[in-house]
Structure 1
């Protein structure tokens, strides 16, 4: 009986242990479910699930980094955080047996410390050093909803990545250039980052990826797409005529790559920079525009304004958030990261209100002004640049590593401003020879600069440079700096003209008995090749009323002197590459022809007059005598 009872007791004990084991297994299963949640929650890091299962070569998984632009030039690295058994059944992945990873005890402790310290930054009373507890915490607190979401810089996952990056003793697996693969990866939880940023020909410097966390099963091949985008910069110029029409240049649709303007005329430029898609991962974000102006351009002091553009809404950024400098034809607008508390765009504030919203979708827009100077290139007449006119070129420098001080640069973007030249020739309309001493004025006939005079020379006292448009107070008292005088060959070169219409007026004829030419109006119309940024065609014509005139002709005269009609040779009126227009304006000379025998003719008229007078007197006297006889 006692023995039977003992057997019953033993069986009950065995059954109880079985139940306890079953309960323990249930708890483990529940914990595995939480860890499976880790798999789901943390595989957000850009892992692209293969359409079909691909098996790696014996020895571990292969991870391939997919980036069509940079995979061959950038390199990547990975480090295992947790070792684990990874099982996928019917599409469901579970992770069990989680332990700290590391090649040795020292490395395991370093990885443990990086993870635990990151958790304690957020949860100061966190005390566990157990790998499973850390995995449970990450599963519950990563707060990332999907593969497209970026890790914010204060997220625990970003803090872990930062801590691991700071530890230079850790061993990372790294790809080599031209091979975007990591092989022989053991099962567990991995962090992947950019190791070095590439800069392939014709492209900007690559940006470092935001942290990519992935569960690797130790068997399958996995493809990972780096989580980042590369910033870009775009430059545009606004033609003066379009600027005059705009109520607000910021919203104008007329910004383009080429424009034309007068020497001394202020022209608007626009620089638009984009931000990396993993901007949220950065704690500080350096951002600097560098704009190189060619020697024919002068920056207009204090003309820089910077805006944050969100959904077509411009918010002006306080000038205390950035610095502006202009030296050696180089304009910089810099949001610095330094030891003085400046965090680049991250510390920028709005003008006035202080509140400023900047995220990965924000564009940073710089507006400034410049003007052509006396060194301005005319047309395409330059060997200094591959483009024509007067170019300026911008590049953008930006933070490209969330866990370092690395910066990248965009490829450059260029615009060009053009000016033109008038060759005005004063000729004798009969002989077609040049005439010296003729004086002209040239005025704008465009709506936005109507009646302004072109300066013929510099006048420092008046603050005038040759070629610029100026306003004159009294048209009847013109200053000398708006008068053009023909040289000994009748030539008047006028450089630095904007495209558009002009009225030419002769205010003084050449020496000698010449008749003053009537005023005339002409128009310059260029056509640009946007791809090469050069003038590809240049047209010039006088107004409809002036086309019937015989004293105006374009280009090289045909040399048929004596007909008092000016004719230009076809195709010589303009030179597109040189940006030049040639116009001839004739003067008619008044000539007194010699008369022979003038004294005899005069005497004959006098004698005839005397005879006429005698005859008239005789007639009057005869009539008077007749009247007296009748009265008697």
Structure 2
């Protein structure tokens, strides 16, 4: 009798230890608060995932047993009371062989022919140190080995959900069960997040209904860009990059822009032996990352530790339709810092990738001014602790913008249509305030003035692209023939973006902040206008003056008389020489 009671107490501890796959402190039988009652009705299990509602689960029984639990005075089960297993037997089928084979090399494993009670006690005492209903089993523990063996066998018949609710199981035989993910779902949208598989859920069926949430998290990823106006990756200092990532910035041609990729890992990473993890970053075709040879220059950090580049691969594949930067870990659980020290990666770890990219000046066009250059990242991650399966997140974007100017040069006179005459061939230089460099038409800069001359075309226009937000001075250096240089002291203007939206909305510079200023009459009144990504205005040059002339007719007569005398003299000289030659011949 005393031996049976002792075994019952161990079984009660086993019940608590194995419930939900975690470990709880062993309990003793305490009957004072309720009436211990053997469950006779079939059991129910509900696995609820409110986000991935399409994910299905499956279950399999490991041990059959009588299940005892306290009942309240009204006959309902006391859900807070522990369940006790007795008369433990192996479930029908091949479960015993699979479990005992999986555990045969574990220190202290019973003989394969030992009874089910003995095996249950062994599992209870060797399931690992990670415990609690909300935790995930550690890889390599007895519970993990059991789940891996059962999931990997294709001959087992698993119990499927009872109805359209993907995790609802009814009419289950009482005993000890394992539940795992059957088929993961995705969130809505063409590129929805792929669900991760739950760590093994071990629970006792019988008595009170079992309600449990999957033990996993789907990794999340985001992308931020550092705005050079405030130098931050977040829009709110009180939040982090996942809750307030800065999605938008602007830049000049060839100006490095800092990007940050950030990703979390699944909360049950401790169940994985190997955890693959890959950032795939699709840059717009107009951008190129900073390169060292053909490889992108990146810095990878986990928390405050810089990861040794030997622990990951960083590649870049340029192209028009795909322009891809990839940072990939074969096994994130084995990363080290630059000093060779292991970096702890757990369910609360965040992985950061920092790199720089710039707008390629040769690819900037008028059509893209003020329009978002979309830069997308997605994350691919291991999503099944016991296979090589992977899941993928949705794309997360960031945006970069650039701007330009259109300037028209006209004279103070009119053409044959009555409009101000446009002036071709007028030369200018453009500089940003505070800079000693000159800006070319493609937005790149140089200290060589001659290399940065901007010349009006046959429509009297200059176009400059690839400008950042800022204040600039446009200076006329060579006017059109017959016209004065009215802008020799420069025209100052500002490209002001206002507030950059975080959704990729096109940007029109703020006209009220343009402040197009010059000497009186240099900028045509009311000519300053804005359009998507562009500021336009007109500069006027006055036509050269004609001063009065006198004595023009007298001067003309003198030139005519002088010419006539010269002609007579030449004719006389020729005739004289001819007569002299004739006399000599006679």
Determine if the TM-score, normalized by the shorter chain, exceeds 0.5.
yes
2:107 matched residue in structure 1 = 123
- Asked whether the 8 Å contact 2:369–2:401 carries over to 1, the reply is no
1:15-34 superposed matches below 5 A: 25-34=1-10
2:181 to 165, 189, 194: 194
Which residue is equivalent to 2:569?
Answer: none
State the alpha-carbon separation in 2 of the partners of residues 322 and 199 from structure 1: 28
In 2 relative to 1, CA 507–122 (structure 1 residues): closer, same or farther, beyond 3 Å?
A: farther
Task: Give the superposed CA RMSD.
Answer: 3.1
Q: Distance in 2 between matches of 1:252 and 1:401?
A: 28
Instruction: Indicate the residue corresponding to 2:581 in structure 1.
Output: none
Q: Is the Cα contact below 8 Å between 1:269 and 1:368 reproduced in 2?
A: yes
Q: Which residue of 1 aligns with 2:96?
A: 112
Residues 155-196 of structure 1 deviation map (CA, whole Å, 9 limit, x = unaligned): 221111111112111111123765331222111111111011
Measured against aligned partners, the alpha-carbon deviations of 1:434-457 in whole angstroms (never above 9, x if no partner) come to 2112111111226xxx2332123x
Q: Per-residue CA shift, 1:211-240, capped at 9, x if unaligned?
A: 1110111x5432221000100110011124
TM-score, scaled relative to structure 2: 0.80
Structure 2 residue aligned with 1:359: 346
Residues of 2 paired with 1:156 and 1:440: CA distance?
A: 78
Change (3 A) 1:376 1:77: farther
1:88 maps onto 2:82 in alignment: no
Q: How many residues align?
A: 507
2:172 to 181, 185, 200: 185
Deviations 1:280-329 (A, max 9, x none): 1000011111111121112221443243333xxx2111111111222231
3-state SS in 1 of match to 2:346:
coil
Distance 1:542 1:162, change over 3 A: closer
Shift of 1:197: 0.7
1:539 corresponds to 2:510: yes
1:81-480 mapped onto 2 (5 Å cutoff): 81-90=62-71, 91-102=81-92, 104=93, 107=94, 111-123=95-107, 126-127=110-111, 129-142=114-127, 143-175=129-161, 178-202=165-189, 203-217=192-206, 220-243=208-231, 256-302=246-292, 303-310=296-303, 314-327=304-317, 328=319, 329-336=323-330, 344-373=331-360, 374-376=362-364, 388-431=371-414, 432-445=420-433, 450-456=435-441, 466-470=442-446, 472=447, 478-480=449-451
How far residue 346 of structure 1 moved from its aligned partner, in angstroms, is 1.9
Q: Secondary structure at the match of 2:459?
A: coil
> Is the contact between residue 290 and residue 396 of structure 1 (CA under 8 Å) also seen in structure 2?
yes
- Residue in 2 that maps onto 1:76: 57
Looking at structure 2, the residues matched to 146 and 376 of structure 1 have their Cα atoms a distance apart, in angstroms, of 57
State the distance in 1 between where 2:19 and 2:109 align.
Answer: 27
Deviations, residues 562-595 of structure 1 (Å, cap 9, x unaligned): xxxx2125xx6101xx311102122223302435
Among residues 539, 544, 547, which one is paired with 1:590 in the alignment? 544
Shift of 1:115: 2.7
Call closer, same or farther: CA 1:234–1:177 in 2, change over 3 Å: farther
Once residues 164 and 123 of structure 1 are traced to their aligned partners in structure 2, the CA distance between those partners, rounded to angstroms, is 21
Scaled by the length of structure 1, the TM-score of the pair is 0.74
Q: CA deviation at 1:419?
A: 0.7
Stretches of structure 1 that go unaligned for 5 or more consecutive residues are: 1-24, 48-56, 337-343, 383-387, 457-465, 554-565, 601-632
CA contact (8 A) 2:226 2:232 kept: no
Contact residue 477 and residue 485 of structure 2 kept, 8 A:
no
Could you say if the C-alpha distance between residues 30 and 521 of structure 1 is closer, same or farther in structure 2, counting changes exceeding 3 Å? same
Distance, in Å, in 2 between the alignment partners of 1:351 and 1:499 is 38
Rg comparison, structure with higher value: 1
Displacement of 1:430 in angstroms is: 5.0
- Give the distance between the partners of 1:282 and 1:367, measured in 2 at CA: 27
Say if 1:528 and 1:535, in contact at 8 Å, map to a contact too. no
| Offset, 1:121 | 3.7
Q: Relative to 1, partners in 2 of residues 1:514 and 1:529: Cα closer, same or farther, differing over 3 Å?
A: closer
Q: Any stretches of 5+ residues in structure 2 without a counterpart?
A: 24-38, 72-80, 415-419, 555-586
